[in-house]
Structure 1
């Protein structure tokens, strides 16, 4: 359906009005009295301030006239372009528009008028005014708001936030190429510019409760300063965690978890746990928490025994010469 709607979108502006059409894909479920209309096309019609009225049931006998007109247009417009190469969509559309204009100026066989003159004389006056803005195709998604007041747009793997009172509730996302709107019970509760950065967050500060609004001020420097006030080992640990991710924002929660351990175990234990984790070359919140839970931070540092043990099966370096 998106491709069909793309074809529909530019057409109302070509003839300076809104025409009628009979698109089979517009009807999802046929019914003589209450047919179900495709939601995307319904929104398309709403944008252009027109309506969708399904054609009469049965097999209309006048459909062949329309198919014949489409065939003529295809032969005069698309067929001559089949061997040409276009590098941009705008270039192709411009050439198509030129050929369509030329096609409409051709006189009918044995007549003194063209499609353009007939249209301007008899049909254009019956068209409604065209909408000034181009319709943007909308996509729909239902998702649940997470506890952090954000909802995931799975297509982009990007998170958008909503007012905190909707945490845990199901909402509907309506998104276009440029915007993301979020609705709850037919009420729009948030709107964002679409961002295709994977695993990133788009956050409006006013949507967060007062106790969480400080989170929007997070940045690598703030975490490093926080860790530096605890100690050198903790600061080095946070720097390693921030540098281990493709984007620092992906490490913010891990850094927050590490730094929050200070309140539970104190500065000294956290410093020793971070030092041991750095020695392991395995630095993460889970590793440091495990070190503290198992009391490994209290164990003395041991130097590995690098002297080979004498044994009758050990031949020494001379055997390898």
Structure 2
């Protein structure tokens, strides 16, 4: 036997994924995709909310909650959900419930406590599951003869349908979902925070380099110097990047633009007090090349001349310059000299094989290097690949 659950206004919201899906058809390509439905209900008023998503992944789950709270105009102290991995990691019969960190963070942002339904106890959230079924069937019927070309188009249609659905008169009680919500429940909701919860992406296991920076999306972000060599996790939002180490946030950076490459975001306090470290740029690369020799300087100059932005040439230039550490400055200078004889703008792909095969030690390119490259012959001397090969690579 079961008894009717009496709900209190403004106390609980129940959430779940609907079992039914809708289709989105691209008007240009004709490709179709599945739209999943996140459903939420305030059990006292039975006021409903539906949000379409393209998947049921964690970030879609979180963003649907943000949209739900905006729709309700407030939050409740209790958030009752299913035992989904997007929200609940473990729910043992005995012991503590283990929540997903991101889901706990969202709940705390909206002053809510997550209360998962007991495993295999669907009656813990009867309003949601009943409303999920009722709302899903009603929505499917309303959308049956419509075709949607995008998620935004479907979302707009669902919003309009929700207004009509929530305004329908109750059959067994006075008023409607909307009238009960606005008259009795909405005034009791917790006020929304000034800023909506920001859904963040996590990148795990990034090592802090010797320069006290960690790489993300072709750019570099500083980390307190004490963590050099440590493994950190990155929490990326729309405009910020946070660096975490063992559940402790070390620092926050403003996210560099997606168009940026080899840029550095450096907090001065992260570096040792007397450090003179500077990010790599054209000037530093050219200074290093000049110390190696004039032909190396010519190669590096050509690399920068080939690119529209200096930043695009930094990595190719460093790839060449670091060969001096593997072999020697003199051998790199000799290899650059040889490469310049056959290639207009030598790169690592030209210079590396010269050093690896010892051609720089021989000191010259054999006259028949091109023939060896053409017919595959090799008498143990000369270039590993013909001069024509290297010349073509530089075009």
Alpha-carbon distance between aligned partners in 2 of 1:66 and 1:292, rounded to the nearest angstrom: 68
Q: Which residue does 1:13 correspond to in 2? A: 70
Q: Which residue does 2:297 correspond to in 1? A: 235
User: Which secondary structure state, in structure 2, belongs to the residue aligned with residue 53 of structure 1?
Assistant: strand
Check whether the contact 1:254–1:285 (CA below 8 A) recurs between aligned residues: no
Cα distance, 1:115 vs structure 2: 0.7
Are 1:96 and 2:153 an aligned pair?
A: no
Q: Which residue does 1:59 correspond to in 2? A: 121
User: Which secondary structure state, in structure 2, belongs to the residue aligned with residue 14 of structure 1?
Assistant: helix
User: Which secondary structure state, in structure 1, belongs to the residue aligned with residue 159 of structure 2?
Assistant: helix
Comparing 197-206 and 41-50, the one that deviates more: 197-206
After superposition, the Cα gap between the structure-2 partners of 1:264 and 1:285, relative to the gap in structure 1 and judged at 3 Å, is farther
Which structure is higher in helix share?
A: 1
Q: How many residues align?
A: 299
After superposition, the Cα gap between the structure-2 partners of 1:274 and 1:58, relative to the gap in structure 1 and judged at 3 Å, is closer
Q: 1:82-124: CA deviations, max 9, x gaps?
A: 53334462x4433322221221112123655111111123322
Using the size of structure 1 for normalisation, the TM-score is: 0.73
Q: Which residue does 2:229 correspond to in 1? A: 168
Q: Which residue does 1:319 correspond to in 2? A: none
Residue 208 of structure 2, aligned match among 145, 163, 178? 145
Cα distance, 1:306 vs structure 2: 10
Q: 1:32-61: CA deviations, max 9, x gaps?
A: 341111212101111112222334566253
Alpha-carbon distance between aligned partners in 2 of 1:75 and 1:299, rounded to the nearest angstrom: 81
Check whether the contact 2:338–2:364 (CA below 8 A) recurs between aligned residues: no
Comparing 51-60 and 139-148, the one that deviates more: 51-60
Q: Which residue does 2:318 correspond to in 1? A: 253
The structure with more radius of gyration: 1
Check whether the contact 1:106–1:114 (CA below 8 A) recurs between aligned residues: yes
After superposition, the Cα gap between the structure-2 partners of 1:287 and 1:99, relative to the gap in structure 1 and judged at 3 Å, is same
Alpha-carbon distance between aligned partners in 2 of 1:200 and 1:33, rounded to the nearest angstrom: 48
Alpha-carbon distance between aligned partners in 1 of 2:287 and 2:62, rounded to the nearest angstrom: 52
Which structure is higher in strand share?
A: 2
Check whether the contact 1:234–1:270 (CA below 8 A) recurs between aligned residues: yes
Check whether the contact 1:158–1:197 (CA below 8 A) recurs between aligned residues: no
Alpha-carbon distance between aligned partners in 1 of 2:118 and 2:359, rounded to the nearest angstrom: 78
Cα distance, 1:290 vs structure 2: 6.2
After superposition, the Cα gap between the structure-2 partners of 1:133 and 1:253, relative to the gap in structure 1 and judged at 3 Å, is same
Using the size of structure 2 for normalisation, the TM-score is: 0.61
Alpha-carbon distance between aligned partners in 2 of 1:5 and 1:96, rounded to the nearest angstrom: 19
Cα distance, 1:159 vs structure 2: 4.3
Alpha-carbon distance between aligned partners in 1 of 2:369 and 2:119, rounded to the nearest angstrom: 89
After superposition, the Cα gap between the structure-2 partners of 1:227 and 1:65, relative to the gap in structure 1 and judged at 3 Å, is closer
Alpha-carbon distance between aligned partners in 2 of 1:111 and 1:270, rounded to the nearest angstrom: 87
Gap regions ≥5 residues in structure 2 = 1-57, 372-395
User: Which secondary structure state, in structure 2, belongs to the residue aligned with residue 21 of structure 1?
Assistant: strand
Q: Which residue does 1:23 correspond to in 2? A: 81
Q: Which residue does 2:51 correspond to in 1? A: none
Alpha-carbon distance between aligned partners in 2 of 1:236 and 1:283, rounded to the nearest angstrom: 11
Query: What RMSD over aligned residues (CA atoms) do the two structures have, in Å?
Result: 4.0
Q: Which residue does 1:315 correspond to in 2? A: none
Alpha-carbon distance between aligned partners in 1 of 2:366 and 2:133, rounded to the nearest angstrom: 84
Q: Which residue does 1:109 correspond to in 2? A: 171
Cα distance, 1:180 vs structure 2: 1.6
